[in-house]
Amino acid sequence: MSHDTKHAEHAHPTGATYLKIGLILTIITAVEVWAYYIPALVASPLFNPALIIMSAAKFAIVVLFYMHLKYDHKLFKALFTGPLIIAMGTITALLFLFGKVKL
């Protein structure tokens, strides 16, 4: 495979796509804040998981599109996701260890 072909596969989104992604991030943030002010939603057992899912979605969108990890070399993906998995595992383990989360 020539370098040019490789480059074509790794092309980045356009400015319009970046603007759309910015709009999506804003909408998700607005939904998170709106939910915070609805007592019935806050009392729901699904409130915290829903917030974490929305936050994870924003995290993934920024990493994949703004940081271009979706289009980047697999070594960069490994350098980021490896420590991220260790970090998430550490947080989870500590929360179980200190009784903040129970099965």
In the complex, which residues of this chain contact other proteins (CB under 8 A)?
3-4, 6-8, 10-15, 18-19, 21-22, 25-26, 29, 32-33, 35-37, 42, 48, 51-52, 54-55, 58-59, 62-63, 65-68, 71-73, 75-76, 79-80, 82-84, 86-88, 90-91, 94-95, 98, 100
Q: Which is nearer to other proteins, 97 or 103 (CB)?
A: 97
Which one-letter DSSP state was computed for residue 2?
-
Contact call for residues 69 and 63 (beta carbons, < 8 A): yes
Specify the 3-state DSSP secondary structure of 72.
coil
Q: Which amino acid is at 89?
A: G
Q: Could you tell me the smallest distance in angstroms from the CB atom of residue 30 to other proteins?
A: 8
Q: Could you tell me the smallest distance in angstroms from the CB atom of residue 40 to other proteins?
A: 14
What are the CB-based long-range contacts (under 8 Å, 24+) for 49-57?
A: 54/28, 57/28
